[in-house]
Structures are given as structure tokens and as C-alpha cells.
Chains A and B, each alone.
Chain A
Amino acid sequence: MSQPIIAVRSVSKAYRLGAIGATSLKEEVTRLWGRARGRGPNGGTSESKEFWALRDVSFDVQPGEVVGIIGKNGAGKSTLLKILSRITQQTSGEITLRGRVASLLEVGTGFHPDLSGRENIFLNGAILGMSKSEIRGKFDEIVAFAEVEQFIDTPVKRYSSGMYVRLAFAVAAHLEPEILIVDEVLAVGDIAFQNKCLGKMGTAARQGRTILFVSHNLAAVLNLCQRAVLLDSGSIVGDGSTESILRRYVALNSSSAHIPLADRQDREGTGIVRMASMTLDDGKGATLNAFRSGDAARLVLHYRNLAGRTLRNVQIDVGIDDAAGQRIALLSTSFTSQGPFDLKSDVSTIEVCIDRLPLMPGKYSFTLFFAVNGEAADWIQNAGCFDVEAGDFFHTGKVLSRVQGRFLIDHRFVAGTSHLATVAGS
């Protein structure tokens, strides 16, 4: 079983913007005319804007794997699922599927309100790709799962929405394809039923079925999937163990070069100093969305001194937490300044400069704290976050991507009998 059951190769999908649905006849004619004159597939005419929902996506799924697909709204998850379930076609690239595919992008697709529950089970089952005899064989199980025994001959338009959803999911849950593609359908129904559905999917997974699962319910993804693929703006930006990918996903959601703080309500302190924003840059003024291990990093804190005079004996702390919320470092004026730190009334920024960032790749959040004369003036917990990407910390020309530990520590390996030699450096 070394062949992947799903092989996705450089799949891209473009949508034409502005012209959705309404391709005018005129445009079409111009395009065809241009093509007839040999100006390439787009006819060389002014092209309507293209939007790439997926760009060069490649991955393999082995039989029996349960893979979560996560990403922000608009990252391309649904487009990917639609292409895999053959609802639409990719613009380029190739997909090989080695098994029957059933996709569940919505529950109750094709349910007819006038038909009874029994009739809809057959209809919906057939739409999802089951044969009549298959459905007949699972009929009792489906009805029992949906808990609608008494109403099985009632038209589904008289069902409560809960019953409707249960019946619809029950049909889908009894599909037995080799590949099951599921999109967000667990967002329906009550909690008890959701858990039942998750349980059913877990069973399917244990039976060796391959499942692709898209959900915003990160806990469900973590429970079901060993592996996750992270999409961002149409490209795969992460593929690995669910836990590590989920961490990346959380990071992706919030990091930004400029972190506004002025409107934050969750702050404490006297308010004599008020932080307005934080900018991340490379120490030379170029803003960054993410730092790199080993590079210079600078946090520029913009604040307003509301006292109208020079503030004396000021303490500024920047606490750095890892993705799990564990404090891993504290940067503080109380460590670095020799005497009391003063803030003149006209100074409006404080720079926290780190020459060579020793943090491992990952996501970090920080807490900001201002105190004047030992009294908290402005304190924002979890003020923002930043990412650290792999970098060349040791100046060896190698980018250290997966290393154990949390910190990079400058070090040397020394070997020798008579002369000391530096090993780590070159």
C-alpha cells in the first residue's frame, strides 16, 4: 500500500473576478475572435481580473490517513474540497484518486420536502453514490442512528430541523467509500448529536477509511486527525502533525507588523502613560510580520505620556510567552538600565532592541507593562503576538528548521589535545 490514495499535483484554481456568471456575449465573442487570430487562449484582449483560490497545491494522502484541512476563511479549503469531490474543475494540475469518493459538503443535499423520510433516505443515498441494495442493507441502521423511527413515513417538511439534520447526517454517515470528504457539516445539530457524528467518523477512520476533514472546530480536528494541512491564501503553508499545524494556524491568525493598542479595553493601571501601538521591525526600520532566529529584532512601542512632564523611575517590562502560554522570558528596564529609567514628556517611542534573536521558530505572545514609581501605569496582558521563523542563528549558512528545545544558545564545540579549535563556527 505504498501508493497514495489521493495524490494532488500542482493544483491551481483561478476564478474570474467581476465577471462571475455574467460573461457577456460580447466579451465571449471578442475572446473567440482573438483566439481565432492566434493570440493565445485569452485572446490578448483585456482580461478580467483573476483570483487564484488555489495556487500550486500538492500533497499525498496515504490509505487510512485522516487529514484535517485548516485555514482561514478564503484560504482555499472549500475550493480544494470541491475540486477533490469533482464538483468543479481545477484550472491546472492533476489529481489521482484511488478509491470511491463520497463527499459531504452539506447535509441533506437533494432532500425533497414532500417525500417521506424513507423515500429521502433512498434518494439522498443514491445522490451520494450508494446503490439501492446498499441502502436497503443499511436502512434500519440509518433510521436508528437518526432516531426518527416513528416519523419515517412522514414527509420531511414536517420534521423539526433537528430531526431533518439527524436523518440527513445518518444517511451520509453510513456511506462506505474508501475516501470520505467532510466539510464543516458538524456545525449542525445539538452537541450530543455532534459528538455522535464525530464518534461515527472516528469509527470510520479506525476501519481504515481515508478521511479529509475541514472544520473550524479545532478540537474536533485535533481529536480525529493525525495529520493536518494548513492553507493560506491558496497555498499550503504547513503540512504535518495536527498539533504542530494547529499551532501554526493560531499564529497565522493574528500576527501583524503593526499591533494597535490604543483601543484595547483589557488594560490595567493608573493610565498616566498609555501605550498606543507596537511595531515590529528588523532594527533598521523595515517592518516585519515575523522575526527570524538569529536576526536583529526590534519592538517599537508607541505611547503617550499623559502626565505632561518627565516621568521618573519608570519600569517597562515585556514578557514573552510561548504558544502554550508559558512565560519564557522577560525583558525589563529593571534588568538593563543602570539607574532609574526616565521618560521625557516629548519622547513617544520606546525601542526594545534584540541584536540576535535566540528564539526557536514558533509563535510567541507578549505582555506589556509600564510602571511609574513602582505603581502600574499601563498593563496589557497578551498585548499581541509575533512569529519567529527559522533563521541562520549560527551564521553557518544553514537554516535551522526543526531543532529541539526552545532557545538557541550561542555556543562552540571545542576538540583537541593541544590547540583549541572552533568547530561550531566553520
Chain B
Amino acid sequence: MGFLKSALWIALACTAALCLGAIATSRGESINSIWLVLAAVCAYLVAYRFYGAFIAARVMALNETRATPAERLENGHDYLPTNKWIVFGHHFAAIAGPGPLVGPVLAAQFGYLPGTLWIIAGAVLGGAVQDFVILFASMRRDGKSLGQMAREEIGKVGGFVALITVLMIMVILLAVVALVVVNALAGSPWGTFTIAATMPVAIFMGIYLRYLRPGKVLECSAIGFALVLAAVFGGQWVAGSSSLAPVFTLSAMAVAIAIIIYGFLASALPVWLLLAPRDYLSTFVKLGVIGMLAVGILVVRPQLEMPALTRFIDGTGPVFAGKVFPFCFITIACGAVSGFHSLISSGTTPKMIAREPHALPVGYGSMLLESFVAVMAMIASCALQPGVYFAVNAPAGIVGKTAAAATATISGWGFPVTADQMQTLAHNVGETTLFNRTGGAPSLALGMAHIFTGGSGGAVLGFWYHFAIMFEALFILTIIDAGTRVGRFMLQDLLGHVAKPLGRTSWMPGVIGTSAAVVAAWGYFLIQGVRDPLGGINSLWPLFGIANQLLAAIALSVATTILLKMHGAKFMWITCAPLAWLVTVTFSASWQKIWSPLPRIGFLAQADALKTGPAAFNARLDAVVCGTFMALVAVILIDSLRLWFGILWGARDRSVVEAPFVPTRLSAEEI
């Protein structure tokens, strides 16, 4: 490396250290968000250039001359050598979901510091490493899935447990993201109309794409985008109409039931009619809005009004209960480490990589970008006045049901806010109230609207708020639709072993029965969340976070096994260190969620406090679900540990089951 290059990297490393130091030591006055942006970007660049490159060169020995499965097994469908930046975009679009947006918003109750540090460090040392190693392992094994690799590398038990874990996580994931939408739309005619209008828009797009202009996806998506923008404007008109506003003003329970019915119908409808066109649209909107938010933050450079640390690090937070350790790490979830990414990294992506070294920008780089999205969500939520943030995110069961009670409670915590201030803000965004809108989506939308209007608020604040709600709801509904469908396939796959007709995806009674079972499963948890006086998020988001991080633990166990077989103990620390951290965090959080004597944290204590009735049953059910997650992952960990010690002591076979080396025939011009 030349002197100038070395100097540049040293300067970047120093800038990262300086900015991290500044945000870590700043107390008592607000700081500018640009410190967070610089800290994150410089840390990512240094990590990518040195840590990512080290893993690529020394650990994986990525080989430019080795043909990838995309080349060897090219079939024009799944396996296809593709330009690395196109694969990067494809992979990033696939991994970017609501998790990195909602998680940091909820974790902002601890202040911006703990969440931001974990988002950056977790992604660099854990999340990106997991995505990268699993992508590499799958690429060297002809694009095999995580479940297949778990079965082959660890054993049959691991593969089966991975399948069951994914199915259970899907149920909790669908319930919690549906709850986020419910809390954003309840009592909001503007939002409800806008989201309801996206259904006929998607169906129109489906028909347009299939029969009117077949194959014109970009054209169709542009029309769809214009129509959903019109729906956002139309929503304002509906909210102001004395006859239509009551029709679209729904209670939380009514919105939940509508989403459950929608989930069932959408998963049984032909894919081309609703799911596929909305998936195209939501992906393009998602990428566009993330880009807009990045530009908005750089242009506006908002001040962070939230302190670095709040009093709620002691576990008494109103958004969700639990101390900063371990709950901050569970709550951030996908912004730092996401087990779900390992399913994408061992799904479509390894079948598209043209050259092995492309796995570095695709696997490691995409996760760093996802982490930056989480930093932006943290900035958007911390740019709000803390009093406003807590008024929006705290449930009525904690702060009180009236505006006066809520503002008095929140001001008493040292975060001044008035009922008039909240009323004016609600009026400006076209809502009747912004109190107790738990779930993260409304406060994120407020933060984004604040940034998009340049911090000035004004008449367009309402448009941007509902635009952000539309953006979040659009891709959450796509996840619900696709997730219910996938859950149904997995259930049919399992039940097919018991009764063969149930396994056939063409047998309608089986399709309807398994769709109903999956919808009933996540619908049950959704209704439970809606009825919960603490807002539902307090119970369901930690469950989701624990489940997601435990899936990451499974992926890291597979990754560690592979590295152990490749190099012995030499490079195990690369995946073992994040694995040890995740196991510590998730098992601590799970233990507390089940056994803590505080009813706001411990499910069993909550059940004891409630004694009998549906709420007590639900709390016990949540404890059972949490315990089951722990048990499933413990099985995989014990299985893995047995194998690792066996390999280290020479008692077990450590041969690596990679596809044989074949030299590439692709020229640089072809990719």
C-alpha cells in the first residue's frame, strides 16, 4: 500500500475513532446527527477494507479463477453469473425489511448511544460476518440452503431444528410486523384509506402487467407509484370528509381483523394478481425512500434532541421493559445482526455470484448498508423532541389514558411535553391524536417527515408523515402476504409426512386448511398484542428479537463448524466471538422474559399478577414460546459443541464438503 493510501486509511480510522469518541462522551447538550453519520461511514469503510478483506483473503481464500455455481450450473433461471453491483442491489433489496427501521426507533428509549454503538459494532463484527461466511459457504456448496448445510455440516438434528425454528420465527415475525401496521392505522382515516387504496392499485397493476402490457414491470411500477401517491393525497381529502372519515376510522381490533382476513385471502389468491406487483412496487419505493432519507439527513443534518443515555437504561422504560443489557441488543435486531439474512445469503444470492471475490461487497457490504439504514432510523427518531417521542411510543397502560395524564407523566420523567404541543403536531399531520401510537412506525414517520420538510414542519408535514406510513405499511403487508404463503408451504411440507394429500400444493382443501392454520397462528399473537394494555410491543418485539438473534446463532454455529473444518481452531474466533455474544445476550433476555419477578418483564410473573383469564393464558403462552426457542437453539449448540470438540480432539471427521474446483471460463467482459 502506497504512502498516500496508507495516510488516507489512517485518516479514516482516526475520523471514525474521533466521531465515536465524540458521541460516546457527549453529555448534557444535543449533538448534530452528522457525527453519527461520519462515525458509521468511516467505521464501515475501515472494516470493509481491512476486516472484510482479511476474511476474504486469509480465511475464505476467495479465488478469482474458481468457477462459481452461477457459472458451472448456469440454467438461465436461478443460476446465472451476474454483475456484482446488480447482485449487490438484488441482495440488499432482499435483506432490507422493517426490522432495521423499527428496532432502532424502539431502542432509542435508552438514548442514541447504546443503540448506535451496537448497530455499528454488531454489523461490522457480527452481522456482516455472518452474512458473508454463509454466502461463501453456500457458494462453495452449489447454493445450498442454511437448513441443508446445517444437516450436512452438523447433523440431521440441526437441519430439522432449523426448519422448526424458522417456522416459529415466521409466526412471531408476521404478528409483530402486523401489530406495527395496526398501531399506525388505528383511528387514522388518512392512513387507513391510503393503505386500503394500495390493494386495488396492486390488483390493477397485476392485471396491467399480465394482460395489458405484459413484461413492462418498470413502467407498471411507475404507474403504481403515481397511483399510491394520489392515494396519499386522497387520504387527506378523506380525513377531511364528514361522510367518509368515519368509514375509514377503525379501532385497533378492526384493523387487526382486516389484516388477518387480508393475510388469508392474499396468500390464497394467485401470486400475479396482488403479491408480485406490490412486491415490485414496495421494493422500488423502499430503495427510493432509503436513498431519500440518506440525502435528507446529509442536507438537513438534524440535531439529536434525545440525550446520549436516558434514565431508562435501568429497565423501567415505557416503550418496552428491560435493562439496556440485554434488551437493547435484542431490540435492534436486524440493524446489527439478523438471522433471517442467512436465509437470503443461502438462497438466491449465491446462485448469482459470477466471481468468488464478489461475495465480499455482496455479503459483507450489503449488511453494512443495512446497518447504515438502522443508523438513519436512529437519527430520525432521536431528532424528535424526547417528550414527543415518548408520548407517541408509550402505551396508555404506562403513561395514562388522557392527554393531561400522559404529558404529566412524561414531563415528570424529565422530558417536557404539553398536551397543546401534541395536539398541534397531530393536527399538522392530519391525525386526531398521536398519543400511545406504539410500534415505532408513527414515530419513525414523524422523524422522517421532520427530515423531509427540512425540520421546518409546516403544511407538507402531513403529506410526508403519511407518505412514510404508506412506505412502511406497503412492504410490511408484502411480508405478511409472502410470509403466510411461505409458512403454508413449510407446514404443508411437514404435514405431508403425516398425510400425503396435505403436502400437495395443488390440493385446495390442504391449501385452505394450512393457510388458515398459519394465519390463525400469527393472528392469535396479533390479537393478543392489540388487547395488551402495555401495547403488545412490550411482549412481542422482544420475542421476535430473541427469535431472530437465535436464528443468527444457528447460522453462526454452521459458519463456525465450516471454519473449524477448513482451518482447525485458527480462525474459529471470527464467528465464535459473535456467536458467544449472541448466545449470552439471547439466553439472558429469554431467561429474564420467562423468569423475571417483575411483571412488566417476566411473562410468568405477569401471568401470576393477572391470575386468570385470556391475558394470563397469553403471558404463559409467550413464556412457553420463548422457552421453546431457547430449547431448540440449545439443541443445535450442544450438537455443534459435540462436533467441534470431536474435531479438535481428532475423533470426528473434519473433511470439507465443497464442490470440486473447476477453473472459470468467464472473461471479465462477460460479467
A and B associate in one complex? no
B residues touching A (Cβ–Cβ < 8 Å)? none
